Chain A
Amino acid sequence: MAYIELEDVTKRFGVVTAVDRLNLSIEQGECVAMLGPSGCGKTTTLRMFAGFEDLDGGEIRVGKRIISSKKTHYYLPPEDRNFGMVFQAFAVWPHLTVYENVAFPLQIRKLPKAEVQARAEEALKHTNLFHVRDSSPEDLSGGGKQRVALARALAIRPDVMLLDEPLSSLDPHFREEMRFEIKDLQRRFNHSILYVTHDQSEAMALSDRILVMRLGVVQQVGTPLEIYGAPANRFVFEFIGLSSFLQVALRDGRMEVGGASYAPPLPPPAELVVQGGAWLAARPNEIAFTAEGGVRATVLRKAFLGEVMDYRVAVGDAEVRVQTSRRDPGPAVGEACGLVFERPRWYPLAE
């Protein structure tokens, strides 16, 4: 049994089902990122986990102990869960100094004075805040404030760390730096982390596994490689990385698109053949141009983006994005060309 288990966790707000029967287990020391578009229920899940929201179904366990349960109406209060939490808007207390912010949770736990100081200072050192311990957090930059929040969460040696888009209020260049710092701290302390973000590169860089959510429903759980390499459905494919889709008809073992018929680049699954149509999905950099053969297309636009050449090409009425290395000359705007799908995937139309 895993260290953390969320079983059929459900939350409704009026008619909206914010989280629908979510199942997830997290091992000790594992970092799981929850990824999804705005409003998909990430924060709600985190808040249920933290104890701020009651459940409308299911159960949450940490270390075999039930901490939230719809069935028994038992909810361990947030203050007794021993979790560390970092919020998007920092939530550091402006009327306390940096040190007092970090020491607060330790004082609440009625630890001896010497230990409060030792642990607070240790947390401040780990987050490079020791030299500003007596300043007001108001005087720090966004990154500084978020470090205070991180130090405050670390100081209690939490069983679980919960982070809700901790980096999205920061400037882009700070974001990358903090990302590494968080990863470092996680390795050092071996915390179990539930990390909410809507930034896929953040999720990829930080986490051992990613959970992709949409409208309250889990779409896929897997390692970053699995999520990127084998998306479970069209939504996940589109949400992670760049994507191109082509709607095709499947008939007599061939695919039809843009008024022409081709041999499919990859045999479609039988159930899609039965349905008579499917999405052909590919990453833009996994589509190549060919002068002869391939799926016939016309170049609509072409833009030089530095490392890559970005094309929009028309296949019948549909538009497909293609990216080639900048060293390839490629076709010109208005020119006819063929597309070769190198690693395509099939997804059902009804989604």
Chain B
Amino acid sequence: MTAAVNRGSRVGTSQILLGLSIAILVIVVAVPVLLIFLNAFWVDGAFNVADVVKVLREPDTYQALVNSLILASGVTVTGTIVGTFFAWLVTRTDLPFKGTMKVLFLVPFMLPSFIGALAWKMLLSPRSGYINRMFMDVFGLDGPVFDIYTYGGIILVETMYLFPFVFIQVAGALERMDPTLEESARISGANLFTITRRITIPLVMPSILSGSLLIMLYSMAHFGTVAVLGIEAGIYNIPTLIYEKIHQSAGSFASIRTGTVLATVLVITAAFILWLQNRVLSRGKYQIIAGKSFRPTQLKLRGLRVPLLLFCIAYIGFTIVLPTATIFMVGALKTYGLPFTAENMTFYNYKFILFEWQLTKDAIWNSISLGLAAAAITMFAGVIISYVIVKMKVRGKGILEFLGMLPFSVPGSVIALGVILAWSGKYGVNLYNTVWIILVAYIARYMAFSLKANSAALEQVHDSLVEAARASGATMWQALRDVVVPLVRPGMVAAFFLIFLPALRELTVSVMLYGPTTRTIGVAIYTLSEDGETVYSAALAGIALVIIVFGESVIKRLFKVGRKG
């Protein structure tokens, strides 16, 4: 306080902001994570690593670790291949309708993968899957042709939803790449195959790797698909086992310990993957950006043009249209398992879910209000924290920078477990089974998005703008209000929607935290499906899809208008 008096109000303001930022991150993110580490390593008042190893070597824990590794590696490999191939196809060839295709390949980003997994379960589950039954009927087979409850099935479904990570990065790199880099190889005597192998792929390798590490990160921490498709066949990965331990055995000491040990492994893995990604990006940042924007030379597909177009259409039909249609059709069935004929279909399910059934009405309301609240709070907290990190010169900022990295490497199931440890009454506040515990967890979970969007916006605001305002006589607060806030508003809006939309369809966190009246949409869809209420589950999933697609398109419109204005 003396410093504030001595050096004027500016230092005081900075310190208040810094303190506030640190407090937010400590309470919301650091404490839960620390509690996890503590519970994992601190046994009977002593630091104990041997016990952690013992937990890791228990058969079910060990198997979950192996499964996570198998699934994540599998998804990473297939997702990278699929993503790179389609990225190349839409940027470097004369494929027809490339623009449309590019947009369509990004649609999976929008769709919640656990809803996709539910659809595939309806289509390909060995006993009752529609496609399996069709094959059995048509060819008179005795057993199912496909079994989705397998490693391969899970990898396939996750790939459909995660490949856009690679697609987006590689397509961007290929589009920005200076075409003369390839042309000079061509005139040097290399044919297209050699150029692709020795010039193009090495040059976009940093983008490929960074995209595949993102796939790995997400797949490692992914709950939904494995929960829907794996549990039946006894395939657990780390997040689903944490869920199983915490949820099924409601808080026994041993299960909480197993949960925290698994969560620790997950955090360390995530941090490692992020570190690796950072290295790849900083080491491999070649100057391959085109100086003059010329159209890159396109490979003429000639005879392959139509077959490849059909292949893309088939892929999109198979991975997007088919599962989505399945969800809506099943949601309209009178009873699950009936054939899709007019007399078996009804709109009543949708009406029942939207207007009559308390459980689903609650879920929709919970998700929307949680999403709005989490988005608003996290957005404002993110602005303050990013402002201190990006713009302020104040001592002690290093701590904040470190804390600011934390949200990026804490997966959802870890957050959920952490808030259970922190907010279940052990430390004076009991939020368990209330909607507030989910809100706290959402704020922690989505803080990374907010920090990213806001610091990107703030970095665009040059220091001299604030200095000019202050030189014109504005106080620090006036400069913030009149200069900085208007300039970062786009970043704030982006942060809001980057949080609101994923929160709407969130499952991983809320599935561990929900109570009798605090189901979210995701939880309701998942539990209904687990309880065998497949039709209502599908109907609610259909409604969720409509809300999500509607939300996305409203936002796209909003941003377009905003940019013009």
Chain A residues engaging chain B, CB cutoff 8 angstroms: 50-52, 77-85, 87-89, 91-95, 104-105, 108-109, 138, 149, 152, 156, 162, 169
Contact = CB atoms under 8 A, between A and B. Distances in A.
B240 to A, nearest CB: 40
B141 to A, nearest CB: 51
A149 B194 contact: no
A149 B199 CA distance: 15
Given A89-B180, A91-B180, A94-B287, 5 more contacts: A78-B187, A79-B187, A89-B291, A93-B203, A105-B190
Highest count of chain B CB atoms <10 Å: which of A79, A83, A105: A79
A171 to B, nearest CB: 15
18 contacts: A52-B186, A52-B297, A77-B191, A79-B188, A79-B189, A80-B189, A83-B187, A87-B180, A87-B184, A88-B180, A89-B291, A91-B183, A91-B184, A93-B181, A104-B188, A105-B188, A108-B190, A156-B189
Interface in B179-236: 180-181, 183-191, 194, 198-199, 202-203, 205
Given A91-B178, A95-B202, A95-B203, A85 B187 contact: yes
A104 B189 CA distance: 9
Nearest to B198: A104
B144 to A, nearest CB: 48
Contact of A108 (B183, B189, B290, B292): B189
Nearest to A79: B189
Contacts of A105: 188-190
B191 to A, nearest CB: 6
A288 to B, nearest CB: 44
B47 interface: no
A118 B198 CA distance: 22
A87 B203 CA distance: 18
A138 B286 contact: yes
A138 B285 CA distance: 10
Contacts of B199: 93
A137 to B, nearest CB: 10
Contact of A156 (B188, B205, B287, B288): B188
Nearest to B203: A95
A152 B181 CA distance: 13
Contacts of B286: 94-95, 138
Interface centre among A51, A95, A152, A156 (most CB of B within 10 A): A95
Interface residues of B, number: 25
Contact of A89 (B178, B185, B190, B297): B178
Contacts of B288: 94
A227 to B, nearest CB: 27
Contact of B186 (A79, A93, A156): A79
Contacts of B189: 79-80, 82, 105, 108-109, 156
Nearest to B184: A91
B291 A152 contact: no
Given A93-B181, A94-B288, A95-B286, A84 B187 contact: yes
Nearest to B183: A52
A79 B184 contact: no
A109 B287 CA distance: 27
Nearest to B186: A78
Contacts of A108: 188-190, 194
A194 to B, nearest CB: 13
B188 A152 contact: yes
Contacts of A93: 181, 185, 199, 203
A90 to B, nearest CB: 8
B187 A138 contact: no
B104 to A, nearest CB: 27
B287 A152 contact: no
A313 to B, nearest CB: 40
Most chain B CB neighbours (cut-off 10 Å) among A80, A87, A105? A87
A39 to B, nearest CB: 12
Nearest to A155: B188
A331 B288 CA distance: 56
B291 A169 contact: yes
Interface in B232-253: none
